[in-house]
Structure 1
Amino acid sequence: MLFILRWIPARLKLWIYTSLSRLLPEEQGGAGGKVHFFKFRIPLVLKRSDRIESTEADALRFLNRVVPHLPIPKLIDSFRIDDVVYTLMTRLPGHNLTQLDREEEFTEEAMKPIVQDVLDIIEELWKVPQPAELNGQVMLSASGGGLPHPVAFHESLGGPYPSTYDCYKTMVMNMSAHPPGHFNPILKDKIVWVPTDLTMRNVLVHNGRVSGMIDWEDSGWLPRHWFLHTLRFPRPGCEGAWARYWYFTHRFEPEIEEAFDASNASGVLTYFLCP
Structure 2
Amino acid sequence: MSTISATFRPPTDLWRDVPILGRLWLAFPARLRLSIYHFIWWAADRIYGRHLTTRVRRILPGIYLKYGQIKASEPHAMVLLRRHTKLYSSIALDYIPHELHPRYNLPPIDVAFLLMTAARGQRLMDVEHTLEPEQITTIGLDLRQYLSDMHNIPNPYKYGLCSAAGAGLDALLFGNNDLPTSEDIRSFHAWLRERMGRHWPVMQPRVQPIFSKYDDQQPVFSHGDLSEDNIMVHNGRLSGLIDWETAGWMPPYWDYVLARWHYSPACKTIVRLAIPEHSDRERYEMIVSAGVSRGYDPANFDSFETTDVI
Distance 1:108 1:190, change over 3 A: farther
The whole-number CA distance in structure 2 between the counterparts of 1:215 and 1:176 is 37
1:7, CA displacement in angstroms?
1.4
Q: For structure 1, list consecutive stretches of 5 or more residues without a partner in the other structure.
A: none
Are 1:218 and 2:241 an aligned pair? no
Distance 1:130 1:94, change over 3 A: same
- Aligned residue number for residue 156 of structure 1: 177
Determine helix, strand or coil for the equivalent of 1:158: coil
The whole-number CA distance in structure 1 between the counterparts of 2:38 and 2:275 is 47
Matched to 1:116, the amino acid is: L
1:234, CA displacement in angstroms?
4.0
Matched to 1:197, the amino acid is: D
- Identity among equivalent positions (%) equals 21
Q: More helix per residue: 1 or 2?
A: 2
1:198, CA displacement in angstroms?
1.4
Are 1:18 and 2:41 an aligned pair? yes
Distance 1:250 1:125, change over 3 A: closer
Match of 2:136 among 111, 115, 128: 111
Contact 2:168 2:179 in 1 (8 A): yes
Q: For structure 2, list consecutive stretches of 5 or more residues without a partner in the other structure.
A: 1-20, 100-109, 294-310
- Aligned residue number for residue 193 of structure 2: 169
The whole-number CA distance in structure 2 between the counterparts of 1:266 and 1:218 is 17
1:264, CA displacement in angstroms?
3.4
Of stretches 260-269 and 166-175 in structure 1, the one that deviates more from structure 2 is 260-269
Determine helix, strand or coil for the equivalent of 1:32: coil
Matched to 2:77, the amino acid is: A
* TM-score, scaled relative to structure 2: 0.68
- Aligned residue number for residue 125 of structure 1: 150
Matched to 2:243, the amino acid is: D
The whole-number CA distance in structure 1 between the counterparts of 2:173 and 2:232 is 30
* TM-score, scaled relative to structure 1: 0.76
Determine helix, strand or coil for the equivalent of 1:269: helix
The whole-number CA distance in structure 2 between the counterparts of 1:206 and 1:64 is 20
Contact 1:35 1:46 in 2 (8 A): yes
Match of 1:265 among 270, 273, 285: 285
Determine helix, strand or coil for the equivalent of 2:65: strand
Contact 1:45 1:90 in 2 (8 A): yes
Contact 2:223 2:255 in 1 (8 A): yes
1:263, CA displacement in angstroms?
6.0
1:193, CA displacement in angstroms?
0.6
The whole-number CA distance in structure 2 between the counterparts of 1:123 and 1:12 is 40
1:117, CA displacement in angstroms?
1.3
**Count of residues in Structure 1 that have an aligned counterpart in Structure 2:** 250
Matches of residues 250-261 of structure 1 in structure 2 within 5 Å? 252-253=276-277, 256-257=278-279, 261=281
Contact 2:220 2:249 in 1 (8 A): yes
The whole-number CA distance in structure 2 between the counterparts of 1:128 and 1:194 is 9
Contact 2:164 2:248 in 1 (8 A): yes
Contact 1:165 1:187 in 2 (8 A): yes
Distance 1:80 1:131, change over 3 A: closer
- Aligned residue number for residue 47 of structure 1: 66
Matched to 1:66, the amino acid is: H
